[in-house]
Amino acid sequence: MLINDDIELFKTEPTHFAQVILPFATPKPYTFHIPDEWVEQVKFGIRVEVQFGTGRDLYAAVVIAVNDKKPDHKTKPILQVIDSEPIISTTQLAFWEWLASYYACTLGEVMNAALPTNMKLSSETRIVLNPDHDQDFSGLDDKEYLVAEALTIQKELTIDQIQKILGQKTVYPIVNRLLMYDILDIKEELQYRFKPKMVSCVRLKEPYRSDPSVLGAAFDLVKNSEKQTNAMLAFVQLQRQEKRIRTSEVCAKANIDLSVLRAIEKKGIWEIFESEISRVGGYEDDLIASFELSDQQTKAIYEIKKNFETKNVTLLHGVTGSGKTRVYTELIEAELLRGGQVLYLIPEIALTTQIINRLQKIFGEKIAVYHSKLNGNERVELWQQTLAGKPIILGVRSSLFLPFKNLTLIIVDEEHDSSFKQQDPSPRYNARDAAIFLASLTKAKVLLGTATPSVETYFNAQQQKYGLVEMTERFGGLQLPEIEIVDSRTELKNKTMVGNFTSRLVAEMKSAVGRGEQIILFQNRRGYAPTMSCTTCGWTSECRNCDVSLTYHKFANTLNCHYCGYTIRLPKECPACGATTLNIKGFGTERIEDELKIHLPEARVGRLDLDTARTKTAHSKIINDFEERQIDVLVGTQMVTKGLDFENVGLVGVLSADNLLKFPDFRASERAFQLLLQVSGRAGRKNKQGKVIIQAFDVKNLILQDVQKNDFSNFFKREILERKNFIYPPFYRLIGINIKHKKPDVLRDASKIFTKILKERLGERVQGPAVPLVERVNTYYILNYLIKMERDVSKLTFAKQIIQEATYQLNHTEGYSNVRVLVDVDPY
């Protein structure tokens, strides 16, 4: 097959060339020539099929420029044209180019992140039939039919196999058409189809549903049956607390079985129906009108609009429960009236089903939801809807890449959230920051909303780079929760602490349960950086040079500093009090769950962490069970802090604030403050002030004091000073670098060369190499660097250039060609 191309090369001197982005990390766009037959069709933004590399691998590449300038290298031809219309705009390309340059990666990597899988055909692509298609192939042409039919016999096909079936080399246009017809889908490694989980529920029929006063008549209809009467009574009671009532609940409460409910259904009093557990899928109720705005909200909206007259970005700093969502919906409505398009960014879709539900109830079909669990076809569909001008897109960070038609407003909800930062793979972008750049391209405004602003954002607001609008009160005049800091050390000494629980927390839990209120218990993230502490005196191991805890490294049996590399052997006794009660591991949510059985034997306990919430359905089921009061106590990690609004939570308990405050990162204080305030914000939202208990050894910690007083301003004042003194963001920019190799000794030697080049050019700004928390990931050993650069754009560009050069030199030194270098600009 290749021979044909080569012959073609000699036939005529090519005169038309196209620069394309290939879907992998080539340093620059690559040039192909355009055979005469395609000259008319090849234009900016369309995909073409090309062969690249020494193998037979074919790729779909995006054309970004067409010209007649012959490049220095010998060119290969474009083999096929896939699209007739551009799939990206010049704005999107400008956005991609900025990302590649700012986050120090290639356009190919950005394109890979940006395009839906179904638009990224390559030799590795495997094709499957779309299970949702009815398999009616009547409209297909011969070749399309051959492929579709082959797939009814074989589960999946590679591009190779399709080439054989069709007896031709270029097959992407055919595959692409079949994808567009929804007949095919691309198989992804972790393909996950979201099937909403259904539960059986019961609801009254009319007229009983909307008119409770006629319910007496319904009771008359069942008065001859004690069981049916009990069922109805149970239902009425449940209805006081819950909106959606499960058949299982009614049965349990009335001690009857489903046949009784069915009998009542036959009498036309109620109906049994299947209800979706997750609210992501759609809205089951009718649209509702927005609530009336409170004075505080009206004022905030006025101020936001005013700020937008002179500023492109405004921060809405509103305490938990102040009703920020209502402010967003008002602004969205105004934007839609003007014909604009709105992007509503949220950190993680799974954590925010409640927001989706609320917005869908107001905006119905006008809103589309974009998240990582959509399948290939659904993503392409959303892509096309966006292009067609869908008014509102609610989505996670990758929705920034959608082809907006007229983007005029971006709302970044929970702007402080670290999930906005993509960790892997490249581009390691922060969606909040990228949103601000994207908005500058489309002349859109950006509203950043949060109860706990990031230090960077608040600093920008203070410097008047961003507008600042504050809402200091909870909606409806509700009080912020009362926060009590409980001294674990004293309780430990007095032996009143049982397991992980202080007697104070246990007492509060008991009385909350007694009042019929629910409880959230927060414990730090699973796999939390293990540090060493003394259970007698509370001592923790700290670095000699840096204000961080040393972290435990199991392989080497040492305690290391994550930043400067300082290392000590594991002590056998506490350096402070001499006791041998040194403890390494933190405690997990699982253990908490067990201990709860002792303290609150009757309570129904649910656990929400990475283990239990591996899939989105599992996650929403737990949230849903809690919301519907099937669970009394929800024990969870970071996940319970985010975007959840439960009406009946009377008590929030933080089991140990200490390791949160000691996390080895310059953002530790900021994170701790945000997290504690966010988790506290889950307490007491509907009509009652909530209570928060924070257990800690170090009760005098200043952050805890700020949290207790809900004093962001004081926290910020102290934190910004520290950042300035220790030259951290927002005063300096950070660039993180990872170098990786499978052999630790090769890596160590490589790091010497790398360090030398970096330090020669960047001097003291370079910190490292340091051994990271997890020394070996995916069979690769890792070393970290951290570069602190002045904020200057030119300085930052210079640093990236030096890193690039150092990488080049390293990879061109014998023995180190496969040492991998990963760059992370603005690590988070």
Residues forming contacts to ligand ADP in the complex (CB under 6 A) are: 291-294, 297, 318, 320-326, 475, 645
Are the CB atoms for 208 and 218 separated by under 8 Å?
yes
Nearer to ligand ADP by Cβ, of 325 and 442: the residue is: 325
Q: Work out what residue 475 binds among ligand ADP, Zn ion, none; the CB cut-off runs from 5 to 8 Å by kind.
A: ligand ADP
What is the nearest approach in angstroms of ligand ADP to the Cβ of residue 656? 25
What is the nearest approach in angstroms of Zn ion to the Cβ of residue 782? 18
Could you tell me which residues come within 8 angstroms of residue 566 by beta carbon, excluding any fewer than 6 positions away?
Answer: 543, 544, 545, 546, 550, 560
Q: Work out what residue 678 binds among Zn ion, ligand ADP, none; the CB cut-off runs from 5 to 8 Å by kind.
A: none
Nearer to Zn ion by Cβ, of 426 and 784: the residue is: 784
- Reading the block at residue 783, the tokens are 């070393």
Q: What phi, psi does 291 have (nearest 5°)?
A: -65, 160
Q: Work out what residue 294 binds among ligand ADP, Zn ion, none; the CB cut-off runs from 5 to 8 Å by kind.
A: ligand ADP
Q: Work out what residue 318 binds among Zn ion, ligand ADP, none; the CB cut-off runs from 5 to 8 Å by kind.
A: ligand ADP
Nearer to Zn ion by Cβ, of 574 and 635: the residue is: 574
Nearer to ligand ADP by Cβ, of 370 and 475: the residue is: 475
Nearer to Zn ion by Cβ, of 236 and 537: the residue is: 537
Instruction: State the alpha helices, DSSP H only, in 612-653.
Output: 616-627
- Reading the block at residue 485, the tokens are 């800091």
What is the nearest approach in angstroms of Zn ion to the Cβ of residue 623? 39
Instruction: State the alpha helices, DSSP H only, in 311-364.
Output: 324-337, 353-363
Give the integer Cα–Cα distance in Å for 22 and 29: 7
Nearer to ligand ADP by Cβ, of 322 and 523: the residue is: 322
- Reading the block at residue 426, the tokens are 């490249």
What's the Cα-to-Cα distance from 184 to each of 87, 150, 181, rounded to whole Å? 19, 12, 8
Q: Work out what residue 564 binds among Zn ion, ligand ADP, none; the CB cut-off runs from 5 to 8 Å by kind.
A: Zn ion
Give the integer Cα–Cα distance in Å for 718 and 705: 12
Q: Work out what residue 645 binds among ligand ADP, Zn ion, none; the CB cut-off runs from 5 to 8 Å by kind.
A: ligand ADP
Strand extents, DSSP E, 253-347: 270-276, 313-318, 341-345
For residue 664, say if its preceding peptide bond is cis, omega within 30 degrees of 0. Answer: no
Nearer to ligand ADP by Cβ, of 322 and 624: the residue is: 322
DSSP string, 492-558: HHTT--BTTB-HHHHHHHHHHHHTT-EEEEE-PPTTPPPB-EETTT--B-B-SSSSSB-EEETTTTE
Q: Work out what residue 545 binds among Zn ion, ligand ADP, none; the CB cut-off runs from 5 to 8 Å by kind.
A: Zn ion
By CB under 5 A, is residue 666 in contact with Zn ion? no
What is the nearest approach in angstroms of ligand ADP to the Cβ of residue 201? 22
Q: Work out what residue 429 binds among Zn ion, ligand ADP, none; the CB cut-off runs from 5 to 8 Å by kind.
A: none
What is the nearest approach in angstroms of Zn ion to the Cβ of residue 770? 8
3-state secondary structure of 27: coil
- Reading the block at residue 385, the tokens are 């809807």
CA 712 to chain centre: 25
Nearer to Zn ion by Cβ, of 521 and 546: the residue is: 546
What is the nearest approach in angstroms of Zn ion to the Cβ of residue 549? 10
Nearer to ligand ADP by Cβ, of 318 and 391: the residue is: 318
What's the Cα-to-Cα distance from 700 to each of 398, 658, 704, rounded to whole Å? 41, 11, 7
By CB under 5 A, is residue 31 in contact with Zn ion? no
- Exposure string of 514-539, with b = 16+ CB inside 10 Å and e = fewer, is eeebbbbbbbbbeebbbbbbbebbbb
What is the nearest approach in angstroms of Zn ion to the Cβ of residue 735? 19
Q: Work out what residue 326 binds among Zn ion, ligand ADP, none; the CB cut-off runs from 5 to 8 Å by kind.
A: ligand ADP
Count of C-beta atoms within a 10 Å radius of residue 14: 19
What is the nearest approach in angstroms of ligand ADP to the Cβ of residue 320? 4
Taking CB atoms within 8 Å and a gap of at least 24, the contacts of 99-105 are 99/427, 99/429, 99/434, 100/427, 102/429, 102/437, 102/825, 103/426, 103/427, 103/428, 103/429, 103/823, 103/825, 104/735, 104/800, 104/803, 104/804, 104/823, 104/825, 105/25, 105/426, 105/427, 105/428, 105/823
Are the CB atoms for 399 and 346 separated by under 8 Å?
no
Segment contacting Zn ion by CB under 5 A, of 419-427, 530-538, 608-616, 618-626: 530-538
Give the integer Cα–Cα distance in Å for 204 and 798: 69
3-state secondary structure of 64: strand
Find the binding residues for Zn ion in span 122-161 (CB under 5 A). Answer: none
Nearer to ligand ADP by Cβ, of 271 and 645: the residue is: 645
What is the nearest approach in angstroms of ligand ADP to the Cβ of residue 669? 22
Nearer to ligand ADP by Cβ, of 687 and 778: the residue is: 687
> Please, what is the Cα angle at 120 between 138 and 777, to 5 degrees?
135
- Reading the block at residue 456, the tokens are 């960077």
Give the integer Cα–Cα distance in Å for 725 and 429: 27
Nearer to Zn ion by Cβ, of 482 and 542: the residue is: 542
What is the nearest approach in angstroms of ligand ADP to the Cβ of residue 618? 24
Nearer to Zn ion by Cβ, of 240 and 572: the residue is: 572
What is the nearest approach in angstroms of ligand ADP to the Cβ of residue 329? 9
Q: Work out what residue 534 binds among Zn ion, ligand ADP, none; the CB cut-off runs from 5 to 8 Å by kind.
A: Zn ion
Nearer to ligand ADP by Cβ, of 510 and 686: the residue is: 686
DSSP string, 322-336: S-HHHHHHHHHHHHH
- Selection from 707, 659, 654, 417 nearest residue 535 by Cα: 659
Give the integer Cα–Cα distance in Å for 600 and 617: 28
x/- map, 532-571, Zn ion, by CB under 5 A? --x-xx-x---x-xx--------------x-xx-x-----
Nearer to Zn ion by Cβ, of 132 and 573: the residue is: 573
Q: How many residues bind Zn ion (CB under 5 A)?
A: 15
By CB under 5 A, is residue 576 in contact with Zn ion? yes
Q: Work out what residue 588 binds among Zn ion, ligand ADP, none; the CB cut-off runs from 5 to 8 Å by kind.
A: none
- Reading the block at residue 656, the tokens are 């140990």
Nearer to ligand ADP by Cβ, of 259 and 298: the residue is: 298
- Selection from 657, 656, 663, 655 nearest residue 542 by Cα: 663
Could you tell me which residues come within 8 angstroms of residue 86 by beta carbon, excluding any fewer than 6 positions away?
Answer: 43, 44, 45, 46
Q: What phi, psi does 522 have (nearest 5°)?
A: -110, 130
Q: What single DSSP character describes residue 212?
A: G
Candidates 217, 288, 577, 610; binder of Zn ion (CB under 5 A) is: 577
What is the nearest approach in angstroms of Zn ion to the Cβ of residue 764? 15
Q: Work out what residue 762 binds among Zn ion, ligand ADP, none; the CB cut-off runs from 5 to 8 Å by kind.
A: none
Nearer to ligand ADP by Cβ, of 125 and 518: the residue is: 518
- Contacting residues toward Zn ion, per CB under 5 A: 534, 536-537, 539, 543, 545-546, 561, 563-564, 566, 574, 576-577, 579
